[in-house]
Amino acid sequence: MTETKQIDYLLFTRIKRGDDLIQVGSFKATCDDLAKIYAEHIYDEEDWVEMYVVPKESLICLRSPEPLFKKEGVN
């Protein structure tokens, strides 16, 4: 399997004008160009009025949930 770095992308879409912008999926790609191609060709179930892909690492976290379980190997 290739060693090229795989970036996590999130996909947001809006079905019709006035609808909420919602996350409909996520996938991995090596660059923005490939992410756009994947999004257009995989998520073609609707004629979306808007579609955005964003690298997951671009999300700015303000609050995240506490872990439910101890991590393995952590004392």
Q: Which residues bind another protein (CB under 8 A)?
A: 1-4, 27-31, 33-34, 37-38, 40-42, 44
| 3-state percent breakdown (helix, strand, coil) of the chain, nearest 5 | 20, 30, 50
Q: How far is the CB of 19 from another protein (least distance, A)?
A: 24
Tokens coding 42:
């995989």
Nearer to another protein, 41 or 70 (CB): 41
- Give alpha helix (H) positions in 1-75: 32-42
Q: How far is the CB of 14 from another protein (least distance, A)?
A: 21
Nearer to another protein, 19 or 56 (CB): 56
